[in-house]
Every structure is written in C-alpha cells, then in structure tokens.
Structure 1
Amino acid sequence: MSGAEAGTLETGLARALARVGLGPPAGMTRLTGGATMESWRFEASGEHFVLRRAPSAAMMEGRAIGHDIEAAAIRAVHAVGVLAPEIVVELEPDDGLGTGFVMRALPGTPDPRTILADNAGDAEGQKLAGQLARELAGIHGVDFNALPEGLPTLDPAEGVAGLRTQFEEAGGDRPVVALALRWLEDNLPAPTDPALIHGDYRLGNVLVAGRELTGVLDWELAHLGDPHEDLAYACMTVWRFARIDRPAAGLASLDDLFAAYEAAGGRPVDPACFHWWLVYRTCWWALGCWRMGRTWREGADRTVERAIISRRTSEQELDLLLLLESEAPQAERERVLPPSSPLPPPTGEATAGELATAISEWLATVKDRMEGHDRFQHAVARNALGIIARDYAAKVDPVDAPLARALLDGSRRLAEPGLLAQLRRTALDKLAVDMPKYPALAVARRQWTGED
C-alpha cells in the first residue's frame, strides 16, 4: 500500500472511531489471509481493534448479505454468549473506506498449524474439538427473534440447483464435479427446521489461545439452514490441514465431535445427512475456487492469492472422488489405474517452466526482506511459479465436456468399467501439478496405487 493509500485508510478510520469516542488509529498492520476481505489490526485509545472491510463494491458482488446484516448477526450471537467479537462501530459512506466494521480484538491465533501443534495430543485435540462443538451448538440454538432480517435460507434442493448453474456458467466440463452434482441431486436430505448457520466454521476462522477457544470470526456467510452443514464444513479434508487422520477439524474423531455437540445441546446428528453436506460443501468450494479465477480475470481483485486459489479446485475434485468412490462396484475400486503420460525431459534452451523455477529460486533469496502481508504474498507468488513449472512438465487435461455432461445427466456412472480408474488418474496427476503438498494426495496415492 502506498503512503497516500495508507493515509486515506487512517483518516477514514479515525473518522469512524471518533463516532464512538475513540482516538485515531496507530500501528496499522494488514493481517495475512482473507481471500475475500481485508483485515487490519491497530491500536486506538490504548486498546486493540480489527478493521474488516471490502474496499470496493465489486468485492461485495455475489454476496448474499452485506456488512450491515453481518454486523447485526455478530451482535446477536455475541449478546447471548457466543465467542464472537464485539462490534465497536460500522463504516459509513463518508468514511471513504468501502463497507465494513471495527471489532474489538480477541486473544489467540487463527493459524491452523499453530493450533494443531498446540493441541497435538489425543486428549488436547478432543478437548478443543469439544469447545468447537459447544460454540456450534450455541450458534445453532440462537433464538430467531434475536436475528436480523435479511439472512437467507439455504434449502438443499435450491442449493444444488445453484451449484449446477455455477457449474454450467464455468463451462460444465469437469467430470468429477458433474459426478458430485448428480449424486447430490439423487440423495437430497429430508427437510429440517432451520437454524442459524455460521457458514464458514473451521480452523482458520476461529481464535485459539494455547488450548482454549477464544473467538469465532468471519461471519460473512451466515444464513439459515441445516445444522449438519456447519458440522460437515468444519470436517472437510481441506480444513484438517496437516492432521488428515483426524476427521473432526484435524483434532478428533467424528464420534467425539458429534457426542460433544449433542451434549452441548445440539440436535441429534444423522451420519447420512452429515455425509451429504460434506459432499455438498466440498463441491461448493470446488466451484468457489473456480470463481476466484474469474474474479481475478475480470479485474475485481488482481492479487496473486486470488489467482492461486483458483488452482485449488483439484484438491476438492480429489476429495470428492474419495467421498463418492464407494458408489462404484468393488471390482472398479480395485481396478489398476492407467499410467500417467509425462512429457519428455527438456533439452536446449530453458523452457517456460524452467524460467519459472529460476524466478522462484531468485525470490527465495529476497524472502528475508519481506514482512507482514508482503511476506505472505511472496510465498503465494513462489507457489504460483511452482505451478507454472510443474504444469509445463506434465501432460494433464482435466477438461472433458462430453464425459461431464454424461455424468451430470446420469447416462454414465461409476459402475462403468474403467471410469473410476480414469477419474482417479486425472485427479492424482492434476493435483500433483497444482498442490503437491496437499495431504490427501499422499493418502489417495497410497490407497489407489499402493505408492508412497
């Protein structure tokens, strides 16, 4: 951020803080992460706060709720004891900062790897998973009368129809996503009384101090719906990070999580309904990653991070196969995978992939000169260059519109000889290009090929 931009930010924020009797901000630091919103930590009048904002109207396009409804929902859950932050003041148009609000800072870290390292033991993991379950039960139990008007309701059938529309708009040519959409349509859960749903409840969006849960953040996807959705989302493979062996948020077993949730007052958990929502949210995130690429391409957000996240679709495609492969006959699950088709090693002048590697190696030498959000973006840029290098060296095409169409309309299914093996091979090879350190890749490779 330039000096002029920083000055504008501080001036507008000072104007907002003055409305609630606080002094001007100092020590403003951009927090890392935040694929859709900006977050800034600062001090004012001797206290610590966090500004959460969307600098432009374009960044709010497609969101089901605005910052006004989000702030009202946070106030409602905070008032009944949920560990949500206290909203101090909301931004106004005259502040010149876009939309958003200021929250009182809470102790703890949102970093999943730190949280998992501090709670690595079985007993510690179960304890923290129990705290997560307790908060979730509290969220789902909030009285409707205390909630703001304007929260949307997610009906499963309407949700799947929306995902299908997104899939068609994105080209409709990825077979695994088509397979998942068809399965979701064929296995819709029974209707249930709606509850308040956080919508993004997972490690990374909560604060933990040592072994104690201290805050629940990022309420921008709040809505009304089935409580199984929040439980499932927290347990997606992507949100287990390094602890893929612990399905409950990388901390504990599903039985531990479900028991703690029910003991805290949550509704009885239906495993089949939980599985449906696990598939739904994995498919939802696959399409969300696709949208990141379009957002970058259209210029609404030209950060490197936005472009990189678009390549994480392959993580969700692999996860979807792992979730759905039980639909295939045993013989197909045991079928040997076809071989990969790598390109021959390059000779002569440097290839585009090798140039990307050279730039990445140079960037590594200047890493120590970076700090704060720039250091985070530096790591993202090196990741992008790695994808370019691997992409150039591989021969993987995940696009197959005819197959996707046939899976979507149900004319081809996993019982077809060789189809599951074909999908598995493509998923393995594509993910090895996009995100080779994704923990589920090693698990799937061992399970499907017997290789480490």
Structure 2
Amino acid sequence: MSTLTGTAELTVRVRDHLARRHPGAPIGELRPLPGGHSGLTYSVGAGEAGYVVKAVPSGQRPIGRNDVLRQARVLRALAGSAVPVPGVVAVDETQPAWFAMELVDGEAVEPVLDGPEVPAATARARMLGIASVLRRLHDTDVRTPGLDPPEPLDAAGELERWSRTMHAVPAELRPGAEELLARLADDAPDDIAAVLLHGDFRLGNVLCVADRAAAVIDWEIWSVGDPRIDLGWFLLFTDHRNFPGVGRAVPGLPTEAELLDAYLDGRPAPPALGWFRALGRMKMAAIMGHNLRRHREGRHHDPDQERLPPTIAAMIRTARDILG
C-alpha cells in the first residue's frame, strides 16, 4: 500500500470514529505534527475538541517505536493517576493500528537545547516540578490493571542494548568509547526494585502550562526496570555544558543535586547513582553518533548533525570522569 493510500485510509477511519463521537460536529483533516521520531503523529479537530492521533506507518510492522497500541496501553493504565497523561479516546487495533488521545495545551521545551527560550525562573520551576512527577511515576504500582508490563529492564541489559548502538557508530566519532564501555561493564551495580519507566523523561517530553506539568508525552520506549535508568538520564539535561556546541546557558536551572533532592523528597538516595549518570551520557553519545552517521551516509539529510562531534566527545569524557 502506498503512503498516500495508507494516509487516506487512516483519515477515513479516524474521521468516521470522531464523527460518531461528535455527531453533527465538523471533523477536520489530519495534519502531521512535526518532531516525532516514531510512527505517524497527527492533530485533528472535531468541533471544539482537539485530538492527537498516533498510527503505525503503512506497510510497517507494529513493533518497537511503531507499536502504538503499547503506547495507548500505558496511557490508559495511568489515566486518573498521580502522573498527568493525555486521555485516550479511541483505540483501533485493525492494521495499520492507531489510537487517538486528547490534545493537551502546553509547551514541551528542553531549556538547554530547544527553542523558544523559556524565562529562567519558569524553566527552573518546571524542572523541579517534573522531578516530583518522575517520583510519582516510579511510585506507580507496576501491577496496575491493563499495564501488562514487559520483563524488567536491568542495568546489565540496558548497557548491552546501548553498547550495540555505540558499536554501530564509526570509531572516529566516539573517542574513548571502548574504555567507557569496558568500565561500565566492569562496575555494573546490583539491581534494585523495578518500577514503571518512561525511558526518555525530561522537560522536552512534558507539556507544561506556566510552571505546571500538564501531561507527560512520548511513551514510545516505556518499560519496567531500575528507576536509576530514568533518573540518570533526567539529570543530564540540567547543565548546558554537557552539550558543547549545541547547548545554551540558562541561568538559574537547578543543579543535579537540587533535582535529585526534589525527586527524593526526603527519601534516601539510591546507591551507585554515578554509574547510571555515566550510562546516561553513554546513551546520549550513542544516539548522537547514530544520528550523525545516518546523515553522513545520506540516509537522513540533516546538516545540523555536524554540530554534534564536540558533544559526543564530551559525553564520553565526562562519563569516564564520573566513574572516577
């Protein structure tokens, strides 16, 4: 099935469902939402209501990041919980599958990386506020009905998975990576109790209105596993110096220590957090190296990727520093 044919069929299916949900209301066209890296994402209006539709690309299998039904499952499981998420209003398992969720007002801006600029005080308040959202996510019962969690993700498995991504990056783009991977493997910590993980938790994936978190979005890689996996990744985004060449200074952002205190809320800090902070940097270096390689191979033209080598090198270097 061609892309145009697949999009036309999806449009018919979505508009038919929304017409039944909003009888007599005008139903708009599906408009692609930019910025997504998995599946297909559209916005659509139905009368005064707005929705976001996520769908499996025509001709592709509903696995990994394209498994939109899996995303719908975690959103439905978290509905009404202490973790704000968009409400799911429709799920269609007929292939290619899709689901629709409420369009939540707000902006998802990563202060040190994204535009538009957010006032420094607002950025600080948001970052501290979502630290407590992450804590509430990790406090969610993984036996919540409908969640049907996958096998827990442990430190060793996470390291192995991202090591494969790193090894696919040309050696000249990842100086010092082999030493870093060896040190991470030698020092892998014992696991602690598994929790519900977002997988990419940061301000860029939380819709905010003023200082308030309105909805956590982009659940493509949610899982169950060691909470320090989420935490080590989240702490990475508070300092622009972690991203030389691409990051920008935002005065007043909380330090890693302040973010950790907001997350812990008086509880003891988990052990071996430094290892997970280093792991987060290794993952970022692997992701950036992968994106730069795709650009240079002509698979995804994006000249902006040429700004990444200094950040890749800094991620690897500072990860090694954290490990001692």
Q: Give the TM-score taking structure 2 as reference length.
A: 0.80
Between the aligned partners of 1:225 and 1:208, the Cα distance in structure 2 is 26
What is the SS of the residue equivalent to 1:275? helix
Q: Say which SS state the counterpart of residue 207 (structure 1) adopts.
A: strand
Counterpart of 1:104 in structure 2 is 102
Aligned to 2:128: 130
Aligned to 2:320: 324
AA matched with 2:126: L
Q: Distance in 2 between matches of 1:327 and 1:155?
A: 19
Gap regions ≥5 residues in structure 2 = 241-245
d(CA) in 1 for partners of 2:5 and 2:256? 50
> 3-state SS of the aligned residue for 2:100?
strand
Quote the residue 2:40 is aligned against. 38
User: Residues of 2 paired with 1:47 and 1:135: CA distance?
Assistant: 26
Match of 1:315 among 292, 302, 311: 311
> Is the Cα–Cα contact under 8 Å of residues 39 and 51 in structure 1 kept in the other structure?
yes
Matched to 2:211, the amino acid is R
Whether the 8 Å CA contact 1:50–1:103 is kept in 2: the answer is yes
Deviations, residues 144-198 of structure 1 (Å, cap 9, x unaligned): 2105224242111122223333444556664322122112112212220111011
Once superposed, what is the RMSD of the aligned Cα atoms? 3.7
* Higher mean C-alpha deviation, range 155-164 or range 212-221: 155-164
Instruction: Tell me the CA shift for residue 327 of structure 1.
Output: 6.5
How far apart, CA to CA, are the structure 1 residues paired with 2:259 and 2:157?
28
Task: Tell me, in whole angstroms, the C-alpha distance in 1 between the residues paired with 2:220 and 2:180.
Answer: 26
| Contact 1:75–1:86 (CA under 8 A) maintained in structure 2 | yes
Separation of aligned partners in 1, 2:300 and 2:20:
33
1:229-244 correspondence to structure 2 within 5 Å: 229-237=229-237, 242=247, 244=249
- What corresponds to 2:177 in structure 1? 177
What amino acid is aligned across from residue 11 of structure 1 in structure 2?
A: V
State the 1:232 CA deviation.
1.9
Aligned counterparts of 1:19 and 1:255: Cα–Cα separation in 2: 51
> Is 1:12 paired with 2:8?
no
Q: CA deviation digits over 1:120-161, x for unaligned, max 9? A: 13xx44432231012111110111210522424211112222
For residues 53 and 45 of structure 1, the distance between their equivalents in structure 2, rounded to whole angstroms, comes to 22
Task: Tell me by how many angstroms 1:295 deviates.
Answer: 6.9
Task: For 1:232 and 1:44, locate their aligned partners in 2 and report how far apart those are by CA, in whole Å.
Answer: 40
Seen in structure 2, the aligned counterparts of structure 1 residues 236 and 254 have a Cα distance that, compared at 3 Å, is: closer
Query: What CA distance in whole angstroms lies between the structure 2 residues aligned with 1:327 and 1:239?
Result: 18
Deviation at 1:84, TM superposition (A): 0.8
Counterpart CA distance in 1 for 2:301 and 2:17 is: 30
More helix by share: 1
**Alignment partners' CA distance in 2, 1:55 and 1:323:** 36
Q: What is the 5 A alignment of 1:286-297? A: 286-292=285-291
CA 1:214/1:274 → structure 2, altered by over 3 Å: closer, same or farther?
A: same
How far apart, CA to CA, are the structure 2 residues paired with 1:257 and 1:115? 22
Alpha-carbon contact 1:137-1:261 (below 8 Å) kept: yes
What does the per-residue CA deviation read over 1:81-120, in whole Å, with 9 as the maximum and x for residues that have no partner? 31111111123335xxx33321101111113358884441
Q: Does 1:209 align with 2:209?
A: yes
Deviations 1:265-312 (A, max 9, x none): 8x5324x6332212212222332344446778999xx6535x865974
Say which is worse superposed, 147-156 or 162-171, in terms of deviation.
162-171
**Are residues 47 and 195 of structure 1, via their aligned partners in 2, closer, same or farther at CA, if it must alter by over 3 Å?**
same
Task: Give the counterpart letter for 1:84 in structure 2.
Answer: V
Tell me the distance in 1 between the aligned counterparts of 2:150 and 2:281.
Answer: 23
- Give the distance between the partners of 1:133 and 1:158, measured in 2 at CA: 25
- What are the Cα deviations for residues 340-371 of structure 1, in whole angstroms up to 9, with x where unaligned? xxxxxxxxxxxxxxxxxxxxxxxxxxxxxxxx
Alignment partner, residue 275 of structure 1: 274
Q: Which runs of 5+ in 1 are unaligned?
A: 329-452
| Distance in 2 of aligned mates of 1:25 and 1:295 | 38
Looking at structure 1, the residues matched to 169 and 85 of structure 2 have their Cα atoms a distance apart, in angstroms, of 35
Matches for 1:21-170 after TM superposition, within 5 Å? 25-56=27-58, 58=60, 63=64, 66-93=67-94, 98-113=96-111, 117-121=117-121, 124-146=122-144, 148-170=147-169
Tell me if structure 2 keeps the 8 A contact 1:60–1:66: yes
Q: Cα 1:128–1:178, aligned 2, differ >3 Å: closer, same or farther? A: same
Alpha-carbon spacing, 1:190–1:107, altered in 2? closer, same or farther (3 Å): same
Q: 1:64 to 1:8 in 2, by over 3 A?
A: closer
2:281–2:319 contact (8 Å) kept in structure 1 = no
Q: 1:325 to 1:57 in 2, by over 3 A?
A: farther
- How has the CA–CA distance of structure 1 residues 293 and 260 changed in structure 2, closer, same or farther, with 3 Å as cutoff? closer
Asked if 2 retains the 8 angstrom alpha-carbon contact of 1:39 and 1:53, the reply is yes
Aligned residue for 1:383? Answer: none
Q: Which residue of 2 aligns with 1:189?
A: 189
Deviation string 1:21-53 (CA, Å, 9 cap, x unpaired) is 666741543222112233222211320111123
Contact 2:55 2:98 in 1 (8 A): yes
